[in-house]
Structure 1
Amino acid sequence: MARAPARSTSASAGPERRVPPTRLPRKQRLQLRARTIEYVLSGNAAPALLLFSGAGVPLDGWGRLYPGLERIARTLAWNRPGVGRSSGPHEPQSGAVVVEAVRALAESLGVGPPYVLVGHSLGGLHAQLFARRYSEDVAGVVLVESLHLDDRGLVRGHEGRLAAVLGRMLALPPAQVRGSLRDELAGLDATAAQVQAAGPFPAVPLAVITGGTDPPHWLVPRRALRSKRVHQKELARLSPLGLQVVARRSGHFPQWTQPQLVLDAIRSVVGQARAAAAA
């Protein structure tokens, strides 16, 4: 498989201290399988975008990408159980549970395939599982600072500090964020096993967006940072159509600090998917 090249950008960015003002469409709620799911659905064009947020991060984390996202394609953003105003989880939130939940939500809302999957951090692992299990429904994938199977140890042991940081960024009580993180990270090993047992990653357009600034040393020690950089390149090689995009002025949340770069990557993948469908 060909090595995926990397490219950089000079887009402007700010510090990842607080979710900037957003232009999210109106949030809605749907009763689905004995639970309430909070979501935002807007836009019209195909293929539809399915958004997978990071651990404990509500759909508001995508807000700086609006209204750009809905101008590109029909877009479904949602809160997993226990996040935002979605009801609490009834079972461990493994990747398989998450994937089936978003498939059921999309079906209930009349959002059919093909999909371009957009996943951030832990949500990137969920998107990888979806792409492997339901490759016939996937037209492209965008991974934003996505977890790699071998990066799982980076998030363990730091849940309290992560909750404090996310709480400040999201203007949410740290205890609320801590509960969401605990519930979602509890299924991490099961998710990794499910990804490993799933089929091959499809040969679809793939963009891997990697933050170019170093994370805090308490979260990622220098020795682990080298491995993370290698793993990001490996993610871009999941597909022969893969490309790594380095967000030079961003850390773990390029969708906050360099939204235009992320939008450009999504637009590129959607464009490739449309061209392939028309061929």
Structure 2
Amino acid sequence: MKMVPSKLSSSRGSLQYHLSGSGSPPIVLINGGSGPIEGWMRILPEIATVSTVFAYNRFGVAGSDKPSEAQDGLTIVETLREALSIVGLQPPYLLVGHSLGGLYANLYARSYPDEVAGVIFLESSHPKDLSLEQYQGKFVKKINKLLSIFDSWSPHKAFSEVHFVDKTVEQISERNLFPQIPIYVITGMKENRIVPEIVQKKRLEHQLELLSLSTNHKHIPAQQSGHFPQLTEPSVVIDAIKACMNEINH
């Protein structure tokens, strides 16, 4: 399936999006940091047979406009809500958040619990993942600092969401409790030799902590996957989405 994105004009600028399928609740795919909608290509055709599917590129990604303001979590959530309204999709939604997109799904569900029917946390970031930076080597930390200096020379890069993860996590902590809705946590279990063992162990603990957000939860290990199960084990992700949809509709 070739993705040919359309464009919508929001109050904050122009966004690329892809809309397919029909049915409810609409499935909303929330990319990881700087990820394009093409990252969903291996699951999108199949889940579009189940319901309406909305995917989009956030500001600064691919053909969407560059951001003109700080891209913290609440700004991203409000932009998404406006985009969904513009294309005519009504809540509640099933949110599928990959990596950093999981933080936005978390924040959306807390901020607007009546608008979210369920959440798939796909190799999702956890607020506590910020603490894993302490295990980075000195070389990695120096490179990151150097890159942040370069980013500050460009106003658009300075507004990038990656610079506001701390703020997004703070916004999550300030919000109401997560609603009692179905959640599925999909975790890539394949070992990454580049990542320190302690980081992998802590991150798995954080993944399991996501289950405590709702009493209605299920953990799905993607045994052959790293950080992108939607590419390496698409059937695992597809089955989880279908199962959650079935639970919501029954």
Structure 1 stretch displaced more, 104-113 or 63-72: 63-72
Q: Per-residue deviation at 1:152?
A: 2.0
Q: Deviations over 1:136-170 (max 9, x none)?
A: 11111001000011102447857979xxxxxxxxx
Unpaired segments ≥5 residues, structure 2: 145-155
Q: Does 1:73 align with 2:48?
A: no
Structure 1 counterpart SS, 2:249: helix
1:41 corresponds to which of 11, 14, 19: 19
Q: Compared with structure 1, are the counterparts of its residues 192 and 34 closer, same or farther at alpha carbon in structure 2 (3 Å cutoff)?
A: closer
Q: Does 1:97 align with 2:75?
A: yes
Given that 2:12 and 2:79 are in contact with CA atoms closer than 8 Å, whether structure 1 keeps it comes out as no
Given that 2:71 and 2:159 are in contact with CA atoms closer than 8 Å, whether structure 1 keeps it comes out as no
* Counterpart position of 2:39: 61
2:7 corresponds to which of 7, 10, 29: 29
Unpaired segments ≥5 residues, structure 1: 1-22, 162-178
1:186 corresponds to which of 158, 163, 175: 163
CA RMSD, Structure 1 to Structure 2 (Å): 2.0
Q: Deviations over 1:198-236 (max 9, x none)?
A: 11111111100000112343xx32112111111111112
Q: Per-residue deviation at 1:182?
A: 8.0
Q: Deviations over 1:95-119 (max 9, x none)?
A: 1011001100000110010100000
Given that 1:83 and 1:180 are in contact with CA atoms closer than 8 Å, whether structure 2 keeps it comes out as no
Counterpart-to-counterpart distance in 2, 1:266 and 1:223: 30
Q: Does 1:261 align with 2:236?
A: yes
1:221 corresponds to which of 184, 196, 214: 196
TM-score (norm: length of structure 2): 0.88
Given that 1:159 and 1:181 are in contact with CA atoms closer than 8 Å, whether structure 2 keeps it comes out as no
Query: Quick one: percent identity of the two aligned structures?
Result: 36
Counterpart-to-counterpart distance in 2, 1:159 and 1:85: 31
Q: Does 1:243 align with 2:218?
A: yes
The structure showing larger relative contact order (alpha-carbon pairs under 8 Å, at least 6 residues apart) is 1
Q: Compared with structure 1, are the counterparts of its residues 226 and 142 closer, same or farther at alpha carbon in structure 2 (3 Å cutoff)?
A: same
Equivalent residue pairs, number: 234
Q: Which runs of 4+ in 1 moved over 3 A?
A: 153-161, 179-182
TM-score (norm: length of structure 1): 0.79
Q: Per-residue deviation at 1:34?
A: 4.5
Counterpart-to-counterpart distance in 2, 1:147 and 1:214: 17
Q: Per-residue deviation at 1:181?
A: 10
